[in-house]
Structures are given as structure tokens and as C-alpha cells.
Amino acid sequence: MRQIVLDTETTGLEPKQGHRIIEIGCVEIVNRRKTDRHFHQYLNPDREIDDGAFNVHGIGNDFLADKPRFADIAQEFIDFIRDSELVIHNAPFDVGFLNAELKKLGRKWGKTEDYCSVVDTLMMAREKHPGQKNNLDALCKRYEIDNSERDLHGALLDARILLDVYLVMTGGQETLSFDSSQEQQAADQTKARIVDVNRKPLRVIEATPEELAEHEKYLERIKEESGGKCVWVDSGYE
């Protein structure tokens, strides 16, 4: 199964007010294993960035002045996410902005959901941890995931952190990466041992008469102290 963990940064909170995407970050998982493939792009929004948004991500208009528009990278982005399952924290926010950008390109582009399915990790976290903080920082602390590099929000960094959170929250990585020596060692440990039928018989050490007599006395004491009940004696195993 191919999944894409995605995050965006924007000029503000509401696409209906004309706010735009300024950064897209995506990382790929295949069968719950991280791959080296990712998609990352800064975008020129052709509008000012709200002060509140700038305080969150630290991305300014001067930095974005020479960056491509969404229209310039739309096909590459769609090709990257096509036929995957998007994993997004607070999916309605990011999907809402993506669909607003696609709408600006024309009806033929459709919606994000036309290209892939979407999983919202915020909803998952709220179901697993009701009544608790479930933002990305809180989940990192809860699952002991290192987010020390996250002084400000960044789409690619946040996507990589969310990937780790998602794998832990949904049960961890199902398959670990081993080098050849580790694989061989694991295989050797799980092999059944084949015993040589011609080997020398094991030595059996039998109890001496004195040891048997002491054992009998011990069983009788158990029987007396338990009100006449001793499973070992009553069953005839002695």
C-alpha cells in the first residue's frame, strides 16, 4: 500500500478569504516502510502573508518572490499523490486549501479526493486519546518522538515528523530493515534444531532411598497442613 504523508503552510487560515498555499511537503510510505521519495515545493502566493501565519512558519514574501506558482507544479504534485492514501493531520484544513488551488486552475482538475483517499490523523488521535491535546507537538511528546528541530512549522519537516507519529500511533512499523547478517542471524534463531538420533543417551540421575524418604515426609506434612488434601499423593503420582 502506498501512502503519502502531507503537510502545507499557507498565507492564512481561510481559503475563502483568498489565502493561498506557500509550501507543500510530502513523504512516501510503501507497505508501512519509509522510502527516499518525497515532494517539496515553496510557492509564490501572489499576495501578502498574514502576520499570524508568518509567526507560525517564518516564511516571508521576499523569500517566495522567485518561487513558482501552484499552477506551475500542479501536474507534478498530482502525479506524486495519484492513487495513494494521503495521511494528513487536520486533513480538512490542508485538503480545503489544495482543492481551492485546484479550483483556480479550472474544473477539469477536480478535487484532491478524485486522485487519492485521505486519512485524518487528528481524528485518529482524538479517538485514541479523548480529552487530551492532540496537536503534533503533543503527540511527539506522548510517543517520545524527537521534534527538537521544529522551532517553526515547515511542511516537509512536519510531514516527516507526522510519518513517525503515524507509524507509532497505528502500531509501529510492521517490517524492519535488516542487513544480510542480521537477516541470517534471525533466520538461524528461528530454525528448528535437528537432533542426532545416534547421540549418546542423556544421563538420568535417580533419587537415593534417603532422598525418597525425605520426599515422603514432606508430602505427608503438606497433607496434614492442608486438611488432608495433597494433589500429588491423592492422584497417585508419588
Catalytic positions are 153
- Displacement of CA 134 from its chain's centroid (Å): 15
Q: Which SS3 state, helix, strand or coil, does residue 53 take?
A: helix
Distance CA 205, CA 59 (A): 79
* Residue type at position 176: L
* Residue type at position 185: Q
Which residues have C-beta within 8 Å of that of residue 25, sequence separation ≥ 6? 6, 7, 8, 38, 39, 40, 154, 155, 156, 157, 158, 159, 160
Distance CA 33, CA 163 (A): 10
Distance CA 189, CA 17 (A): 62
Number of other residues whose CB lies within 10 A of the CB of residue 74: 17
Structural contact between residues 13 and 92, judged by C-beta atoms closer than 8 angstroms = no
